[in-house]
Chain A
């Protein structure tokens, strides 16, 4: 079964979001998503400083099997991207919630955070996919 940490927020499109102490958000793809994609071999990350809107595709993760868009949970500015994924995209398979993070973003509209799913709601999304 896939691992769904209780302290994170989620999107129904299988991204996870962690609210950091400084108010920025760290974003990645869930354990369920990495398992469904299989071995990741290429990640296209956004430029730092890019302005995103909620629901906009900001990255592409490619496994041996398929390419998949990754969507931004909120509107805001990209603060950082995980440079290590360039050489080692498999970090997403190995540690989707830590070393496999994709980007950090500074949200411009706090009300968007309320729309994210909690662990129970996301678990229901994963269960429905089976």
Chain B
């Protein structure tokens, strides 16, 4: 038996197909995964993301600490509630995890890290935090529900009571605390919506209220196709400790300026840049029939020197799409080895889909 979120019984009662996900028993789908995907692109859907790990970091020097710990720069966060996406690197420039950090106040930042990397993240952060006298508190008392889709915010606020007006005024990529609930206008689908952190004991009741408000129950299966259409990396698939963010499509998240900010992994990334970064992350659109999957070899100019890191069937585009790590010289056309057959794929910019609309030409 795996770990269970406070919504486990709710998922089972709803007939969800439960699977192991990083040690957690999580719903992969309730009914049709494609219907769940479309619900988020066209209307409103929700996900139990309580398996993700919420950390509160507090202390006088917490900002200074995070400017050292993270590859993106929390100095960008000037307004309370503002969020930042960042990688947390090791000394070699490999990615320990990717995360979201929220600026709560001058002595408090909140961080959300992946479930599968939870233990090593906590150990690493605590080790680094000691020198800054920053306290790390694991918020296992919180559940988290993501409501996503063009109508998600409107439907969700009907359940949120007195937080309604404040929640509706949240700017994109910002959050705030409203009567014990932390609500942020963030997500992992490429659609507008909220991520709601709330006391564990309220989770089942809130989930049912969201459902009654017309928000569809969606599993991790749809979450994966939505994030891939949105061109968002998945830790463990698209990057890990052996991969540089510079080869993972994450250069935009590395704050090299100001040049005098020292952060863990900086010297390794600068050395890579000086030596030349040999590979890059690209989007692929399969032109033949089939489905791109992670670990399929990508053949560039006759050589199998690339690899798909995430691939799927895109329900929105009704075509197969992927993220792939390929030599920097790769242009426009490649082949993908699918069970020994070499199928044609086109390099395309990503995201593939945002806010319900295709971003690429088919």
A38 touches B33 (CB 8 A): yes
B291 touches A67 (CB 8 A): yes
Q: Which of A13-21, A58-66, A100-108 faces chain B?
A: A58-66
Tell yes or no: B351 within 8 A of A by CB: no
Interfacial residues of chain B within 26-43, with CB under 8 A of chain A in the complex: 28-29, 32-34, 37
Contact of A64 among B17, B289, B312 (CB under 8 A): B312
CA distance A116 to B147 in the complex (A): 47
Tell yes or no: B290 within 8 A of A by CB: yes
Tell yes or no: A91 within 8 A of B by CB: no
Given A38-B29, A39-B33, A64-B293 contact (CB < 8 Å): no
A65 touches B315 (CB 8 A): no
B290 touches A64 (CB 8 A): no
Interfacial residues of chain B within 318-342, with CB under 8 A of chain A in the complex: 320, 339
B289 touches A42 (CB 8 A): yes
Q: Mark A72-86, 1 if CB is under 8 A from B, else 0.
A: 000000000000001
Tell yes or no: A119 within 8 A of B by CB: no
Tell yes or no: B313 within 8 A of A by CB: yes
**Chain A residues whose C-beta falls within 8 Å of the C-beta of B17 in the assembled complex:** 35-36, 38
CA distance A9 to B28 in the complex (A): 30
Given A38-B221, A42-B289, A64-B33 contact (CB < 8 Å): yes
Q: Tell me the dominant secondary structure on chain B's binding face.
A: mixed
A64 touches B339 (CB 8 A): no
Chain A residue at smallest Cβ distance from B29: A38
**Chain B residues whose C-beta falls within 8 Å of the C-beta of A67 in the assembled complex:** 291, 293
Tell yes or no: A41 within 8 A of B by CB: yes
CA distance A89 to B330 in the complex (A): 33
**Beyond A41-B291, A62-B290, A63-B33, 20 extra complex contacts between A and B, CB < 8 Å:** A38-B17, A38-B28, A38-B32, A38-B221, A39-B33, A39-B34, A42-B289, A42-B313, A62-B291, A62-B313, A64-B33, A64-B221, A64-B225, A64-B312, A64-B315, A65-B221, A67-B291, A67-B293, A86-B289, A93-B32
Given A60-B339, A64-B312, A64-B315, A39-B32 contact (CB < 8 Å): yes
B347 to chain A, nearest CB (A): 22
14 contacts between A and B (CB under 8 A): A38-B17, A38-B28, A38-B32, A38-B221, A39-B32, A42-B291, A42-B313, A42-B320, A62-B313, A64-B33, A64-B34, A64-B313, A67-B293, A86-B289
B residues within 8 Å of A by Cβ? Answer: 17, 28-29, 32-34, 37, 221, 225, 289-291, 293, 312-313, 315, 320, 339
CA distance A40 to B320 in the complex (A): 13
**Chain B residues whose C-beta falls within 8 Å of the C-beta of A42 in the assembled complex:** 289-291, 313, 320
Total number of residue pairs linking A and B with CB closer than 8 Å: 40
CA distance A35 to B33 in the complex (A): 11
B107 to chain A, nearest CB (A): 44
**Chain B residues whose C-beta falls within 8 Å of the C-beta of A63 in the assembled complex:** 33
Chain A residues with a Cβ closer than 8 Å to the other chain, count: 15
**Chain B residues whose C-beta falls within 8 Å of the C-beta of A60 in the assembled complex:** 339
**Chain B residues whose C-beta falls within 8 Å of the C-beta of A65 in the assembled complex:** 28, 33, 221
CA distance A109 to B28 in the complex (A): 41
A44 to chain B, nearest CB (A): 8
A85 to chain B, nearest CB (A): 11
CA distance A64 to B313 in the complex (A): 6
**Chain B residues whose C-beta falls within 8 Å of the C-beta of A62 in the assembled complex:** 290-291, 313
CA distance A67 to B225 in the complex (A): 15
- 3 closest Cβ pairs, A-B complex: A41-B313, A39-B34, A62-B291
CA distance A36 to B29 in the complex (A): 10
A43 to chain B, nearest CB (A): 10
**Chain A residues whose C-beta falls within 8 Å of the C-beta of B29 in the assembled complex:** 38
